[in-house]
Structure 1
Amino acid sequence: MAVTLRTPQLPDAPAPSARPPILRWTVTALAALLVLGALLLPNALGALKPNRFTRIPAEAILGAAVALWLPRRPRVVLAVVAGVGLGVLTVLNVLDMGFREYLGRGFNLVLDWELLDDAQSYVADSMGGTFAVLAAVGAVVLVLVLVGVMALAMVRLSNVLVASRPVAARGTLIAALAWITCYALGLQIAGTPIASDRAADALKIQARRVADTVRDEAAFAKEAKADTFGATPGAQLVPDLRGKDVIFTFIESYGRSAIEDPIMAPGVDSTLAARTKALDKAGFHAKSGWLTSATYGGSSWLGHSTFLSGLWIDNQQRYRTVTSGEHLTLTKAFQKTGDWDTVGVMPGIQKGWPEAKYYGLDKVYNAFQLGYQGPKFSWSTMPDQYALEAFQRLVHGKKRDKPLMSEVILTSSHQPWAPIPKLVDWDRLGDGSVFDAIQKAGKNPGDIVTDSTKSREEYGKSIQYSVTALTQWLERYGTDDTVLVFLGDHQPIARVSGDHASRDVPVSIVAKDPKILDRIASWNWTDGLRPSHNAPVWKMSSFRDRFLTAYGSTPHPSKD
């Protein structure tokens, strides 16, 4: 008997050509979404809304028309170049978002690359060194992948257009007519124009910033050479402060929001009231006003240099220009007299600081020269209370032949405001090891930086700590000849101060000698440490000349 073997019937399999078209169209759709998203991407976090991506980009229509017209080789080259450019533009838009969120301004293509190193240091201090390294590597890889994928997406879309040239041409024409109609009639979706030229606008913004930066460099260099007190002899500078120990102190991120924001203000205002009362009891009196800082959210050195130089230093280029010149700073005015020893206490500086010569500081104590052996508090190398006690031990408390002019930078209120140090008995400060347990019991920075409300709460507490530490130091070590000028360098980041916050910071002058405050009676500042809401507001750059004039300095302008 013959046996016939039959091959078992398998279920029908899809035809070999069934899947590739699906895959091809999926890839094409993803490429289109990527390119359209990049063309429509705004440069501010607050603008990341669905209606921003339901628009018709003019750049896509123009690109399609060019791709349909060009021969293959130049078309592919142009697609790659355009893809790389669009990838770079996307990176710049994202940088704009970050800079607006933290510094209240857009990214400057010429000046701001070096700030990325500071950003990495901040991440390392807040989240740990390993996380910072991984984040930096991840960011670089992500940028390279984005640029590469964007180039491939542009090539893919150009090939698809050419493969169906008649249909693509008609579609491009229809899209162009739709864009023109929407533009002419001003048609909108949820308040946003349907006709978009967002990518072109972003390019214009970046180009304008570069052009403005180049023009500003020359103009500011000339401005910095002119100085109302540049040629004033030392004997005619601040004669009404002779014999006084003058201390200029910056409190990190101490802004108007700390005093007026509904979340931060109750605690901070209570502290200011309590410290005003305590100072009054100790014989000190204060007057306070507002200054508008040249920076916002960070770049504290721009605020410091603006306050001390009397020039508006709102970018890194201006900072480099002024610190490499001879423009008279408020601190250097005291050095120029020859009647003061001049010292800087800078716990935030952890490397060489050549600017000390420009600021007229005979001696600078950095983070490694204050004897601190305790833990860091996130970015801050040491608690303000310790820095002030070290200032007393190393400088202020020593016998001298001359009075002292000091610049002291307090850093405990630097973001991310976790963990925050607590005040301890001044006699127990020692080498700072007493802060070990306080630092370990403090809050985790990662839990604070991701929560706006918690950030605002902890920021307010850090300001209370810094103000209390400074005024307790003054109560403890101040004398009849002490004159303390303290202020914030800038507002905290927008996540804490708000999207439309001013750049105002509080400034106070505190002294026992009534003549010191009498000299500024015409300023109409508020009595006490808390400036009233309607107290005078000046540009921070105006303070130097007002202060020098109030205390008897004679103007002798330097020549350009």
Structure 2
Amino acid sequence: MSALQSAEDVAEEITDVAPRPSRRPWTAWSAWRRRWRERHPTAAQVLSVTVTVLAAALVVGALVMPNTVVRLGPATFFRLPAEAIVGAAVLLALPRRPRVAVAAASGVLLGAVTVLNALDMGFNQYLGRSFNVVLDWSLLGDAESYLEDSLGRTATLAAVAGVIALVLLLLVLPALAVVRLSGLLARHPGTATRGTLIAGVVWITCSSLGVQMAGVPIASDRTATALKTQARRVSDTLADEAEFRKVARVDAFGNTPGGQLVPDLRGKDVIFTFIESYGRSAIEDPVISPGVNRTLDVRTKALAAAGFHARSGWLTSATYGGSSWLGHSTTMSGLWISNQQRYRTVMASDHLSLTGAFEKTGAFDTVGVMPGVQKGWPEQKWYGLDKVYNAFQLGYRGPKFSWSTMPDQYALQQYQERVHSKPPAAGRSRMSLLILTSSHQPWAPIPKMVGWDRLGDGSVFADIEAAGNRAEDVIADTTRSREEYGKSIQYSVTALTEWLERYGTEDTVLVFLGDHQPIARVSGNHASRDVPVSIVAKDPRMLDKIADWDWTDGLRPAEDAPVWKMSSFRDRFLRAYGSTPHPKRG
């Protein structure tokens, strides 16, 4: 034995002087680590304990991690997870190789659940709902585009690289941590078994008695519950799609002849306008509402002086914080389009849109002005629009305002010059759909009104954009975000109503509304999904048609004004203006 040991010592000394090139890196690392432990036993012991404690903290933290920001807090992480107890029992019962494989797989699964929890946090914070593993992956690309428009290409690439690195770490580190802890259990089976039994008894006791710390239950099964929730969400999503296909085939006006659609609007200049993120919080939040309500009141009086009158109410949007197209399509389809799959289903169907109803009459030219559209937009066919002007067809040469490609005032002036000032085809009226974008987050910088005769090609906005707030200074500050959001709504409402005051005619009928509430960081974690909606016209008969709606006079809906689901608006509007239902049964 001593001769063999002596030979090993000699070999080790030779290796220290001149390592053999053929030695594998992992073997070299193991040898170096062994020698380091032998030379620094105390430091090695401290490091080993520290790594083990961190591994345990990582695993427990991941097991009890909530999926909403509002539940984050110290008490949340001082809990006893049932999954850790069950996992320890299983690992203790397995031989070495299966134990390592199960530990690694469990760690990767735990990392994946952690990623989903983080996605849930983000979606709840911004969209007021959890992440859907079936439908929502495509929205990550939209998020990247939003960041690029708001923060620039370099910052976005850095953020994306950081997110990818973080996801990889969240998958790898839990796996390494669980493997390390499984090895510790295997080296001390007796102590580990007793500890597992004690932990199980404590968990059952705390669960049975409802023991809490700072209002948070000590006994946790958070990860098991999250997995069940995700599985149920997938099942519900698949079932919902099948059911929604049936619902979308039923249409109260699907077989209505064109001659029986909106007869009371023939000869009128009908304009539907969505204002980005114009939600109930803009009118009722104590920080945001003073400026917005002052603007609405001033603009109501200005319109009245120009001969226009308005009625306003509330609609409950199918979306929250983002995904504006869901709000647009819900309003126009009369269907509750609350996710991307429903949206795709409707866009591929022949379900009648409100704008499509005007096209079907054969009595209206139909046009859309979409400054937020920066790529192909096949939805044009479903919306029944003869012509669409996108972000690149409005002649804008000024700066972008964060995500918004151009100020609303400029888009409205271009609508005036390219569409509204020109007569429709002989014997026809006109219906227009406008999507205004200046109130899109991050609300920095915000455009300002300039003289309508000074707009030109938009270059006049260069100094305004340069002097405005930077997105990175506002986007993470809740108070500033709320203040700037309110200013953006004031701007959009002012631009739209000044355009109406300046260019509207006796025949103009303007319907404008918000598509959804702003993100939870601005509207609050428990805000409603309601948005304001107004109808404005000079012809008193146009408002008489909706007298039984009990809407509030003016641009500001009263707190107790009627609240309808956004999906009910299409049919109410069509009936109010003389359309005759001829149902399509599917």
Partner of 1:155: 179
Of all paired residues, the percent bearing the same amino acid is 70
Cα distance, 1:156 vs. partner?
0.4
1:400-442 deviations in Å (ceiling 9; x for gaps): 2221100000000000000000000000100000000000000
Q: 1:359 aligns with which of 383, 398, 413?
A: 383
**Corresponding residue number in structure 2 for 1:421:** 447
- Equivalent position to 1:190, from 214, 239, 247: 214
Distance 1:436 1:88 in 2: 45
Alpha-carbon distance change, 509 to 169 in structure 1, aligned in 2, over 3 angstroms = same
- The residue number in structure 2 matching 1:106 is 130
Q: How does 1:84-233 map to 2 (within 5 A)?
A: 84-233=108-257
Name the SS for the 1:93 alignment partner.
helix
For 1:254, the equivalent position in structure 2 comes to: 278
Distance 1:104 1:204 in 2: 21
Note if 1:17 corresponds to 2:41: yes
Post-superposition shift, 1:264? 0.9
Shift of 1:447: 1.0
Give the Cα separation in 2 of the matches to 1:409 and 1:476: 19
How far is the alpha carbon of 1:126 from its aligned partner?
A: 1.4
Give the partner amino acid of 2:406. M
- Give the C-alpha shift of residue 17 in structure 1: 2.6
Root-mean-square deviation (CA, aligned residues, Å) is 1.0
For residue 242 of structure 1, what is the aligned residue in structure 2? 266
Aligned residue identity for 1:190? A
Q: 1:472 aligns with which of 495, 498, 504?
A: 498
> Distance between the aligned counterparts of 1:185 and 1:141, measured in 2?
42
Task: Determine the C-alpha separation between the residues in 2 that align with 1:473 and 1:373.
Answer: 21
The one-letter code matched in structure 1 to 2:403 is W
Matched, 1:488 2:514: yes
Distance across 2 between alignment mates of 1:72 and 1:296: 50
Structure-2 residue corresponding to 1:303: 327
Structure 2: which amino acid aligns with 1:461?
K
Match of 1:445 among 462, 471, 482: 471
| Residue 75 (structure 1) aligns with | 99
Paired residue type of 2:502: R
Structure 2 distance, partners of 1:535, 1:185, is 46
Matched, 1:343 2:367: yes
Paired residue for 2:460?
A: 434
Structure 2 residue corresponding to 1:529, chosen from 550, 555, 561? 555
Deviation for aligned residue 1:454: 0.6
Alpha-carbon distance change, 324 to 513 in structure 1, aligned in 2, over 3 angstroms:
same
Quote the offset at 1:209 in angstroms. 1.0
- SS, match of residue 511 in structure 2: strand
Aligned to 1:463: 489
Q: CA deviation at 1:22?
A: 1.7
Structure 2 residue matching 1:298: 3-state secondary structure: coil
Offset, 1:18: 2.5
**Distance of 1:389 and 1:522 partners within structure 2:** 34
- Evaluate the alpha carbon distance shift between residue 152 and residue 283 of structure 1 in structure 2; reply closer, same or farther with a 3 A threshold: same
Alignment partners' CA distance in 2, 1:44 and 1:145: 21
What is residue 33 of structure 2 aligned with on the other side?
A: none
State how far apart, in whole Å, the 1-side matches of 2:211 and 2:298 are: 57
Corresponding residue of 1:408: 434
Counterpart in the other structure of 2:398:
374
Q: Distance in 2 between matches of 1:16 and 1:99?
A: 48
Query: Does residue 40 of structure 1 match 2:80?
Result: no
Aligned pair count? Answer: 548
Q: Which amino acid aligns with 1:490?
A: H
Q: Distance in 1 between matches of 2:486 and 2:548?
A: 31
Indicate the residue corresponding to 2:7 in structure 1: none
Instruction: Report the Cα distance in structure 1 between the residues aligned to 2:230 and 2:208, rounded to whole angstroms.
Output: 27
More deviation, 15-24/183-192: 15-24
Whether 2:500 is the aligned partner of 1:501: answer no
- Indicate whether 1:552 and 2:583 are aligned: no
C-alpha distance 21-241 of structure 1, shift in aligned 2 (>3 A): same
The CA distance in 1 between the partners of 2:342 and 2:174, in whole Å, is 36
Aligned with 2:314 (options 290, 304, 314)? 290
Aligned mates of 2:358, 2:423 — CA distance in 1: 19
Shift of the alpha carbon at 1:19? 2.4
Q: 1:354-406 deviations in whole A, cap 9, x for unaligned?
A: 00000100111000001100000000000000000000111111122221100
Distance 2:43 2:411 in 1: 69
Residue in 2 aligned with 1:333? 357
| TM-score for both structures, normalised by structure 1 | 0.97
| Separation (CA, whole Å) in 1 of partners of 2:42 and 2:543 | 86
TM-score w.r.t. the length of structure 2 is 0.93
Indicate yes or no: 2:416 matched with 1:392. Answer: yes
Give the alignment partner of residue 566 of structure 2, picking from 515, 518, 540: 540
Unmatched segments (≥5 aa) in structure 1? 1-12
One-letter amino acid of the structure 1 residue matched with residue 351 of structure 2? H
Deviations 1:73-131 (A, max 9, x none): 11111111101000010000001000000000000001111101111111111111110
Q: In structure 2, how many angstroms separate the alpha carbons of the residues matched to 1:32 and 1:277?
A: 65
> Shift of residue 42 of structure 1?
0.3
Q: Deviations over 1:500-554 (max 9, x none)?
A: 1000000000000010000000000000000000000000000000000000000
Distance across 1 between alignment mates of 2:476 and 2:378: 36
| Counterparts of 1:115 and 1:15, CA distance in 2 | 54
Letter of the structure 2 residue corresponding to residue 259 of structure 1? I
Give the distance between the partners of 1:557 and 1:455, measured in 2 at CA. Answer: 46
Q: SS at the partner of 1:254? A: coil
Per the TM alignment, residue 559 of structure 1 is displaced from its structure 2 partner at its CA by 2.1
Partner of 1:4: none
